[in-house]
Amino acid sequence: MARYEGTCPECKKTLYACTKGAVCVCDCWQHCPVCGAEMTPYTPDLAMNSYGLGECRDLTVLMVCMHHSPIFFSSKRPVEVVCT
């Protein structure tokens, strides 16, 4: 069976697909770059905690890691890898 692969530019992980040109989404963006734990999707509820940080609040934040104080905000996005 044919197997096509692509490498994630973010984490260098190799992703596999059985169709040439298939697009895989690497899940590394869901993991905290600091501690490696799975992060929590950013919701407006969490914004409560970030009031007071003022300009540090970034609207591009998608995920947060609750293991840090203050909370770690990640602006990582899903990485699409084309398998060839």
Q: Name the residues that contact Zn ion, by CB under 5 A.
A: 8, 10-11, 13, 26, 28, 32, 34-35, 37, 65, 67
- The nearer residue to Zn ion, 47 or 76, going by C-beta atoms, is 76
63 versus 65: smaller Cβ distance to Zn ion: 65
Least distance to Zn ion from the beta carbon of 70, Å?
Answer: 12
CA nearest neighbour of 70 among 34, 36, 27, 19: 34
Terminal Cα distance for the chain, rounded:
14
Identify which of residues 18 and 34 has a Cβ nearer to Zn ion in the complex: 34
Q: How far apart are CA 31 and CA 36, in angstroms?
A: 5
